[in-house]
Amino acid sequence: MMLFTKTLLSDSVKNLVLLLLFFGFISNGDALADDGYRLWLKYDRIQNATVRTSYSKSLSFIAISGNDDILNNAAKELQTGLSAMLGKQIPIVKNPVANQKGIILSVSAGAATGDGYAIEMKDGNTVVSATKEVGVLYGSFALLRHLQQHLPLEKAVGQSSPKIQLRMLNHWDNPEGTIERGYAGSSLWKWYELPETVDPRYTDYARANASIGINGTVVNNVNASARFLTAEYLPKVAALAGVFRKYGIKTYLSIHFAAPKTLGGLKTSDPLDPEVRKWWAEKTKEIYRAIPDFGGFLVKANSEGEPGPQDYGRTHADGANMLAEALAPFNGVVIWRAFVYKADPNADRFKAAYEEFAPLDGKFAKNVIVQVKNGPIDFQPREPFSPLFGNMPRTPLGMEFQLTQEYMGFATHWVYEAPLFKECLDADTYVNGKGSTVARIVDGSLHNYPLTCIAGVANTGSDRNWTGHPMAQANWYAFGRLAWDHTLSPETIAREWTQLALTTETKAVTAISDIMLRSREIYVDYNTPLGLSRPWTGSHYAPEPWQNRSSRPDWTAIYYHRADSLGLGFDRTTSGSNALQQYRPKASSAWLNAETCPLPYLLWFHHVQWSKQLSSGRNLWDELCHRFYTGADSVRWMQKQWAGVSTSVDPAIHADVSGRLAKQYKEALWWRDAWVLYLQTFSGKPIPAIYPKPDGTLQQVKESVNSYLMR
Amino acid sequence: MMLFTKTLLSDSVKNLVLLLLFFGFISNGDALADDGYRLWLKYDRIQNATVRTSYSKSLSFIAISGNDDILNNAAKELQTGLSAMLGKQIPIVKNPVANQKGIILSVSAGAATGDGYAIEMKDGNTVVSATKEVGVLYGSFALLRHLQQHLPLEKAVGQSSPKIQLRMLNHWDNPEGTIERGYAGSSLWKWYELPETVDPRYTDYARANASIGINGTVVNNVNASARFLTAEYLPKVAALAGVFRKYGIKTYLSIHFAAPKTLGGLKTSDPLDPEVRKWWAEKTKEIYRAIPDFGGFLVKANSEGEPGPQDYGRTHADGANMLAEALAPFNGVVIWRAFVYKADPNADRFKAAYEEFAPLDGKFAKNVIVQVKNGPIDFQPREPFSPLFGNMPRTPLGMEFQLTQEYMGFATHWVYEAPLFKECLDADTYVNGKGSTVARIVDGSLHNYPLTCIAGVANTGSDRNWTGHPMAQANWYAFGRLAWDHTLSPETIAREWTQLALTTETKAVTAISDIMLRSREIYVDYNTPLGLSRPWTGSHYAPEPWQNRSSRPDWTAIYYHRADSLGLGFDRTTSGSNALQQYRPKASSAWLNAETCPLPYLLWFHHVQWSKQLSSGRNLWDELCHRFYTGADSVRWMQKQWAGVSTSVDPAIHADVSGRLAKQYKEALWWRDAWVLYLQTFSGKPIPAIYPKPDGTLQQVKESVNSYLMR
């Protein structure tokens, strides 16, 4: 089960303890190293005896009635966590024990609504109650989280309900085990072994998700294989669903829109063809026979070469509604992605999703959600919010964030993403006046959406520590916490995660969360400052702002930055692509004018002359140099800050992160030099004398970048 | 460190022990499960007090002098192993402790030669000596192996030297982390993190290899990326080499033959071009600056689309010798693969390697090894030995075995490969009369090769248990043991590995090694009996004997089995391709005639009529049915046998393997039905009545197979 599923010891416990005692003595420091597997569910023994004693007195049993899987898992998790933190076994009982204080888990109608939970103190007992079993599970994890932070028990009292209904991970995992944009090993799902062999790790995955309120998972890539719809693969998916179900998580599949042809042998996949509709209806029935609580379909259609309804002259709504019809009898949902853009040399990719989807508002069936990436392009380190948000009041819009760091340094750069998520969620669309934030659209409160959804493209993989970069665990965590409650601050979440996953020492918590909170801005500064975007083509990793050749113009780097002898940036005002017209005037008013446009968004919307004086007091060229240099230099600050917590963090994790920070610093210099030297060929201006010279020539930087682009 | 590098506990040992004590109580059975990470280096505490006491008295210290990395690691490993097995810390000391008995590690000229070691008892001490540090390391692991089997200490006395000089793993690992033909997760090498972050797992990889005498590793795929030769990647490779070196393991690279063009910017990669030769000489110097003990290059050239010297009208020898010249100053070697075959519809792929390479005998530089796959085709479940063995007396031929189960059920079929390795090594080529075994060619004794080499294509990956199927660890182990001493029997190795990795209970050891020893023959029976081969095209996994379309004829399945209305099999006698002529008459005499040809090789060499009576007393069709049915049925025997050891093997490993066996049984039926139903369309004969009917129609089998071939 749980935490210790994967220890290395097979013999009796007595033997084990003896062994470990000796290993303790002969340890050279990392013998008992933390490998990060436990994530934020570490449950280290509480060292402070006062706290421990106080908890022990009040939490001496866990009472549940009935034999529900989810409730049992709530009790088991409490037992696992409490026993480890308190250093004594806490029993699971059917009824509260007389003359003792403990935890009572209760499903009752009067408690918190929906997936929510309440924690109350009653007669000295701590009562976790909810109207649904899964609410009790969430409440139990909330209680554990509270105790992991060593807070006074009575302060755990309160109620909490999630603001968004479907809180999902999207796995871009392929059937052969690779992960598109995965940087933490291979897929967690062992398709060849399933369903006969069920890796115990699936349970730990479910525990981790349930602990932060995630209640849905799409197990396969949106560039979908039809394999998953076959009779051969459905039992495999069902085996995963069987594990996840016990933690309140529904399983979804990405579907291949052409499956009626490729799998069903039909002549068409036209969504208005009766045979096609019948095929999907039958296939959906088959799925629900295998997985009665199946969640639904995620669809990438007519996007980057994937098949879709437009292949038959139909609309996205036609395609989505066909699937919706098949799913409706089972209360399944269609999550239809709005990530579309055409290879049109005269178009602005920024505008594509809006242009295709906004006219379809109101045309989707009731059980369809349109899932929109946070920004109009593609998960850049900073983007303005997608103009679709607010412009489809009659269509539930779901949010798609990317946890995996496709454009944020893979697993070698430390970027805490909560500020990015929050920036988008807090953005005001002004569609119903001030306060019409993206968050209020996504949580349904602004347009009274009957369905609400938020998805994170998972950063998990088979690496022992789940996420490659140990600190990237925080992005999974933060996503879940914000999916539950988008009003939480990045700082609150950073401090909370640090305490759960790394250390409870206050100074270290502050030092680490300081790094986290600055990390994204630092990355933006050396990577894509002032509203630059997409300086990648092949690798999505190494700097390639010079990339000017591709099968389509919007797959070059120069398409995005538009550097020339006059200046830099993409004019999206009326004199340019006029993409800004897709926003409400109040939302875009500051952006419309280069004089007032906040610097973080400047080059998203304006082609700015190199000598243009900015609000910072520097001209554009100098400001760019300032950002690249100070951004890169700030990684040294991260290194120093991290060095300062060496005694507060497990040595293995500390060493691992130190190594990654060294790499990050090296690569921050790479980015700095790549951009500065490349842009200098347009600006013709000197690097301000206060900065050191680049470490090499442009040619040298290109050569090292090319190493990462070779077969 | 070592063993426990990856436990899940970060707090103090005291805390840990308390924790584990409680977890022992609340365990639901797999709380302390063995995840297989420790491989055969488990060092479980010896339960038998007599044995433990006896060892404790004689092994109370480990004495080493000097400060050599390899010696230190030998001592550390002994300390780790002994302390764990004996339940008390064994100190490492500079000098033997008076009035105590212990282990003395000694490097001295008189001891075992080469990489060998001697273990002696002197004045009550156990002395492990060798002429080289690495010999002491090997001797230490041998001693530990002995103790892990609870054998009397004095029986450890003896000498051992490896019969082959270069004992290598070949990793087909790609720069982005995928592994060609890998079924155990992603690559162990984290190229993006290296060299700044050095995963502690690299050390455990090196320990495992050193423990079985492996002394070389090629870290990248033979379909090679030129990345590894860049200034960006060499420091990464050097970081790995730095870890491996301390365990006596040299690092090698697969090279991309066209690198002078693609990486160096030259106009040609012609091996006779002076600029090209200079480029390789300079590149080689650069490599040795980074890795002073670099081993050399492995080359796949003019094979399956890879570039090579033939692109310029040059020979394999021209290509190899150019690289040999660059490596010679540093004592590096070129390992040039003989895996070549042309897309010639009239040729027999069986003959291709011989035809291209045999004429080049004597034309290779001194530091070139030609590496030959065990069979003439490609790692099939059973192949006759490659006719190249014995036909290049003036060219050192290395052996290439495949550990990863590309054609043996990936990670879901249990196939112990030692019998396959042994079958090839023991085959008699008769080139210098009787007893001219392949082993004697590979170990150099027959032709007095100055260089000897044996390679296993690794089955390792990032999966926690290293090899996906827990039992596939035995193939890595067996390869290493046979590379050291090819006279060991598969049974000896199976029993040894089982004791080290699974259980020391005698009955269980016998039961498990029984499964292992029969497993390959069982697989052959349901997969490719009687000399069938290569019933795959796309997947190398699911049965596809019907596959008849490909870009080249030798990439179809029908090319290999040649089923028609008359019979089955590939005629390689004089009436056919005459491939048998490539063997010495005495080696091939039994194979030449369908009447005398041993059944396991029958269809390799003969097109046999369906009604032909075989030596088994059955006709061909009935014999095929017999093999497919009994083969599949034997998996049930494996399941029963495995069920019988449930109390002797760690429960997590037991459950894992049970799941895989269930899958294997399902897929054995799949293979049986696929072949029988497909071949029946040619033979027109009924399945003998003693067998049950297939589980479905041919069409149904094809449909389920197609699931595995979809994008």
- Show the tokens assigned to A685: 């201006």
Please check whether residues A217 and A95 belong to one and the same domain: no
Distance between CA atoms of residues B353 and B386, nearest Å: 9
Q: Would you call B663 and A186 a contact, using CB atoms and an 8 Å cutoff?
A: no
Residues of chain B with C-beta less than 8 angstroms from the C-beta of A262: 710
On the question of pLDDT at B31 being above 80, the answer is no
Please check whether residues A332 and A450 belong to one and the same domain: yes
Please check whether residues B154 and B175 belong to one and the same domain: no
Residues of chain B with C-beta less than 8 angstroms from the C-beta of A16: 20, 24, 32
In a domain, A649, yes or no: yes
What domain range includes position A190? 166-491
What integer pLDDT is reported at residue B227 of this predicted model?
Answer: 96
In a domain, B246, yes or no: yes
- The per-residue pLDDT for range B500-522, each reduced to its tens digit, is 999 999 999 999 999 999 999 99
What integer pLDDT is reported at residue A29 of this predicted model?
Answer: 34
Please check whether residues A249 and A345 belong to one and the same domain: yes
Residues of chain B with C-beta less than 8 angstroms from the C-beta of A192: 183, 410-412, 541, 663
Please identify, among A121, A136, A160, the residue that sits at the C-terminal boundary of a domain: A160
Determine contact, residues A548/A685, Cβ cutoff 8 Å: no
Please check whether residues A275 and A206 belong to one and the same domain: yes
Please check whether residues A422 and A530 belong to one and the same domain: no
In a domain, B576, yes or no: no
Q: Would you call A708 and B411 a contact, using CB atoms and an 8 Å cutoff?
A: no
Please identify, among B127, B160, B193, the residue that sits at the C-terminal boundary of a domain: B160
Domain count, chain B: 3
Q: Would you call B26 and A411 a contact, using CB atoms and an 8 Å cutoff?
A: no
What integer pLDDT is reported at residue B484 of this predicted model?
Answer: 98
Q: Would you call B8 and A87 a contact, using CB atoms and an 8 Å cutoff?
A: no
pLDDT band at A207 (very low <50, low <70, confident <90, very high): very high
- The per-residue pLDDT for range A153-186, each reduced to its tens digit, is 999 999 999 999 999 999 999 999 999 999 999 9
* Residue of chain A whose alpha carbon sits nearest to that of B46: A15
Is the overall model pTM greater than 0.80, yes or no? yes
| SS3 assignment, position B345 | coil
- A591 Cβ contact list (under 8 Å, min separation 6): A384, A580, A583, A597, A598, A601, A604, A605
Distance between CA atoms of residues B473 and B209, nearest Å: 12
Q: Would you call B707 and A663 a contact, using CB atoms and an 8 Å cutoff?
A: no
pLDDT band at B391 (very low <50, low <70, confident <90, very high): very high
- The per-residue pLDDT for range A560-612, each reduced to its tens digit, is 999 999 999 999 999 999 999 999 999 999 999 999 999 999 999 999 999 99
Q: Where residue A644 sits, what CATH number does that domain have?
A: 3.90.1330.10
Residues of chain B with C-beta less than 8 angstroms from the C-beta of A88: 22
In a domain, B12, yes or no: no
Q: Would you call B541 and A192 a contact, using CB atoms and an 8 Å cutoff?
A: yes
pLDDT band at B9 (very low <50, low <70, confident <90, very high): very low
Q: Is B178 on the interface with A (CB under 8 A)?
A: yes
On the question of pLDDT at A450 being above 70, the answer is yes
Whether B304 is catalytic? yes
pLDDT band at A688 (very low <50, low <70, confident <90, very high): very high
Q: Is A508 on the interface with B (CB under 8 A)?
A: no
In a domain, B7, yes or no: no
What integer pLDDT is reported at residue A21 of this predicted model?
Answer: 36
Please check whether residues B152 and B283 belong to one and the same domain: no
Determine contact, residues B117/B135, Cβ cutoff 8 Å: yes
Mutation pick from A2, A5, A10 vs chain B, by most beta carbons of B within 10 Å, is A10
Q: Where residue B134 sits, what CATH number does that domain have?
A: 3.30.379.10
Q: Where residue A449 sits, what CATH number does that domain have?
A: 3.20.20.80
Catalytic residue among B318, B406, B423, B656: B406
Mean pLDDT of B282-308: 98
Q: Which of B22, B32, B196 minimises the CB distance to A7?
A: B32
The secondary element (H helix, E strand) that includes residue A326 is helix A316-327
- Show the tokens assigned to A446: 């602004």
Please check whether residues A700 and A680 belong to one and the same domain: yes
* Residue of chain A whose alpha carbon sits nearest to that of B87: A19
Distance from CA of A455 to the nearest CA of B (A): 25
On the question of pLDDT at A46 being above 80, the answer is yes
In a domain, B514, yes or no: no
Please check whether residues A408 and A265 belong to one and the same domain: yes
Residues of chain A with C-beta less than 8 angstroms from the C-beta of B502: none
- The per-residue pLDDT for range A371-385, each reduced to its tens digit, is 999 999 999 999 999
Whether B656 is catalytic? no
Catalytic residues of A: 304, 378, 406
- Show the tokens assigned to B666: 């399902």
On the question of pLDDT at B7 being above 60, the answer is no
Determine contact, residues A439/A400, Cβ cutoff 8 Å: no
Mutation pick from A9, A17, A43 vs chain B, by most beta carbons of B within 10 Å, is A9
Residues of chain B with C-beta less than 8 angstroms from the C-beta of A87: 15, 18-19, 22
Please check whether residues B440 and B397 belong to one and the same domain: yes
Determine contact, residues A489/A422, Cβ cutoff 8 Å: yes
* H runs (alpha helix) in B67-214: 69-86, 133-148, 201-211
On the question of pLDDT at A202 being above 60, the answer is yes
- The per-residue pLDDT for range A94-138, each reduced to its tens digit, is 999 999 999 999 999 877 889 999 999 999 999 999 999 999 999
Please check whether residues A150 and A182 belong to one and the same domain: no
Q: Which of residues 662-701 of A touch B (CB under 8 A)?
A: 662-663, 666
What integer pLDDT is reported at residue B32 of this predicted model?
Answer: 53
Determine contact, residues B387/B372, Cβ cutoff 8 Å: no
Is B523 exposed, middle or buried, given 0-12, 13-18 or 19+ CB atoms closer than 10 A? buried
Determine contact, residues B60/B90, Cβ cutoff 8 Å: yes
- The per-residue pLDDT for range A382-429, each reduced to its tens digit, is 999 999 999 999 999 999 999 999 999 999 999 999 999 999 999 999
In a domain, A326, yes or no: yes
Determine contact, residues B260/B276, Cβ cutoff 8 Å: yes
DSSP A139-196: HHHHHHHHHHTT--GGGG-EEE--SSSEEEEE--B-TTS-BTT--SSS-S--TTTTTT
Residues of chain B with C-beta less than 8 angstroms from the C-beta of A80: 26
Distance between CA atoms of residues A80 and A693, nearest Å: 55
Give Cα separations from A700 to A82, A515, B225, B266, B435 (angstroms).
56, 31, 20, 17, 59
Distance from CA of A7 to the nearest CA of B (A): 5
- Show the tokens assigned to A452: 């609400």
Query: What integer best gives the mean pLDDT of chain A?
Result: 94
- The per-residue pLDDT for range B327-341, each reduced to its tens digit, is 999 999 999 999 999
pLDDT band at A32 (very low <50, low <70, confident <90, very high): low
Residues of chain B with C-beta less than 8 angstroms from the C-beta of A660: 193, 196-197
Please identify, among B99, B129, B160, the residue that sits at the C-terminal boundary of a domain: B160
- The per-residue pLDDT for range B394-408, each reduced to its tens digit, is 999 999 999 999 999
Q: Is B708 on the interface with A (CB under 8 A)?
A: yes
Q: Would you call B35 and A462 a contact, using CB atoms and an 8 Å cutoff?
A: no
Determine contact, residues B139/B146, Cβ cutoff 8 Å: no
Determine contact, residues B86/B116, Cβ cutoff 8 Å: no
Phi, psi of B2 (to 5 degrees): 60, -115
- The per-residue pLDDT for range A348-368, each reduced to its tens digit, is 999 999 999 999 999 999 999
Q: Would you call A88 and B463 a contact, using CB atoms and an 8 Å cutoff?
A: no
Q: Which of A15, A198, A707 minimises the CB distance to B230?
A: A707
In a domain, B45, yes or no: yes
Q: Would you call A185 and B183 a contact, using CB atoms and an 8 Å cutoff?
A: no
Query: What integer best gives the mean pLDDT of chain B?
Result: 94
Distance between CA atoms of residues A194 and A233, nearest Å: 9
Q: Would you call A197 and B663 a contact, using CB atoms and an 8 Å cutoff?
A: yes
- The per-residue pLDDT for range B532-558, each reduced to its tens digit, is 999 988 789 999 999 999 989 999 999
Mutation pick from A62, A76, A197, A639 vs chain B, by most beta carbons of B within 10 Å, is A197
- The per-residue pLDDT for range A244-257, each reduced to its tens digit, is 999 999 999 999 99
Please check whether residues B184 and B66 belong to one and the same domain: no
What integer pLDDT is reported at residue B1 of this predicted model?
Answer: 25
Q: Would you call B7 and A11 a contact, using CB atoms and an 8 Å cutoff?
A: no
Q: Is B239 on the interface with A (CB under 8 A)?
A: no
Catalytic residue among B356, B378, B423, B463: B378
pLDDT band at A345 (very low <50, low <70, confident <90, very high): confident
